Amino acid sequence: MSPRPDYSGIRATVMGLGSFGGGVAAARFLAAQGARVSVTDLRDKSQLLDSLHALQNCPIEQLVTGQHPEELFRDCQLLIVNPAVPPGNPLVELARTQGAEISTEINLFLRHQPGRLIAVSGSNGKSTTSALTATLLQHSFPDVNTFLGGNIGGSLLEELHRIQPDDFVVLELSSFQLHRIDVSFFHPQAAVLTGFSPNHLDWHGSLTDYRTAKQKLFGSACRDSCGIVPAETEADFSPRHDWRIRGRKHVFGLQDTGEDGAFLQSGMLLLRTAAGRREDTCRLQIPRTLPGAHNAGNIAAACCAAWLCEADPAGFENALRGFAPLPHRLQKTAACNGIEFWDDSKATTPAAAAAALKLFSGRAIVIAGGASKGVDPEPLAAAIRTHAKSAVLIGESASVLQRLLNADHHKQRAACQIASDFESGFRMAVESATSGDIVLLSPGCASYDWFRDYRHRGEVFCKLVSEWIESQ
pLDDT at 379 over 90: yes
* Chain-centroid distance, C-alpha 135: 17
pLDDT at 235 over 70: no
Of 230, 215, 218, the C-alpha closest to 261 is 230
Going by C-beta distance under 8 Å and a sequence separation of 6 or more, which residues neighbour residue 304?
Answer: 192, 228, 250, 252, 261, 262, 271
User: Residue 371 gets which letter from DSSP?
Assistant: B
Of 208, 24, 222, the C-alpha closest to 105 is 24
pLDDT band at 237 (very low <50, low <70, confident <90, very high): low
- The sheet with strand 438-441 has its strands ordered as 331-336, 339-343, 438-441, 364-369, 388-394, 415-418
Cα–Cα distance measured from residue 11 to residue 393, given in angstroms and rounded to the nearest whole number: 48
**CA distance to 81, 392, 453, per residue, from 210 (Å):** 19, 30, 21
Q: Are 416 and 407 in contact (CB under 8 A)?
A: no
What would the pLDDT profile of 241-250 be if each residue is shown by its tens digit?
578 898 899 9
What would the pLDDT profile of 252-300 be if each residue is shown by its tens digit?
999 999 999 999 999 999 999 987 789 999 999 999 999 999 999 999 9
Phi, psi of 4 (to 5 degrees): -65, 125
Amino acid code (one letter) for 417? Q
Beta carbons within 10 angstroms of residue 357's beta carbon: 31
pLDDT for the residue numbered 471: 96
Q: Over range 418-424, report the average pLDDT.
A: 98
Sketch the domain layout of the chain as residue ranges. 11-103, 107-321, 331-471
Q: Selecting from 3.40.50.720, 3.90.190.20, 3.30.70.980, 3.30.1600.10, what CATH number does the domain 331-471 have?
A: 3.90.190.20
pLDDT at 234 over 60: no
Helix (H), strand (E) at residue 441:
strand 438-441
Q: If DSSP states are collapsed to H, E and C, what string results for 33-66?
A: CCCEEEEEECCCHHHCHHHHHHCCCCCCCEEEEC
Question: Domain spanning 107-321 has what CATH number?
Answer: 3.40.1190.10
Dihedral, CA atoms, 204, 206, 207, 213, nearest 10 degrees? -30
Q: Over range 220-225, report the average pLDDT.
A: 74
Region of poorest pLDDT, from 38-47, 309-318, 403-412 = 403-412
Residue 418, sorted as left (phi over 0), alpha (psi -120 to 50) or beta, turns out to be: beta
Going by C-beta distance under 8 Å and a sequence separation of 6 or more, which residues neighbour residue 416?
Answer: 384, 390, 391, 392, 393, 401, 402, 405, 406
**Planar angle of CA 181, 187, 189, nearest 5 degrees:** 135
What would the pLDDT profile of 144-183 be if each residue is shown by its tens digit?
999 999 999 889 999 999 999 999 999 999 999 999 999 9
**CA distance to 26, 30, 105, 163, per residue, from 158 (Å):** 9, 11, 11, 10
pLDDT at 20 over 90: no
pLDDT for the residue numbered 153: 81
Whole-prediction pTM: 0.94
Residue 374, sorted as left (phi over 0), alpha (psi -120 to 50) or beta, turns out to be: left
pLDDT for the residue numbered 236: 47
Phi, psi of 93 (to 5 degrees): -65, -35
Beta carbons within 10 angstroms of residue 403's beta carbon: 11
How far separated are the first and last CA of the chain, in Å rounded?
62
pLDDT band at 322 (very low <50, low <70, confident <90, very high): confident
46 CB-side CA count, 13 A: 0
pLDDT for the residue numbered 331: 96
Top CATH class of 11-103 equals alpha beta
| Rounded percentage of the chain residues whose pLDDT exceeds 90 | 87
Q: Are 226 and 238 in contact (CB under 8 A)?
A: no
Q: How much is the mean pLDDT over the chain? A: 93
What would the pLDDT profile of 458-468 be if each residue is shown by its tens digit?
999 999 999 99
Q: Over range 188-211, report the average pLDDT.
A: 95
Q: Over range 303-330, report the average pLDDT.
A: 95
What would the pLDDT profile of 328-371 be if each residue is shown by its tens digit?
999 999 999 999 999 999 999 999 999 999 999 999 999 999 99
pLDDT for the residue numbered 457: 98
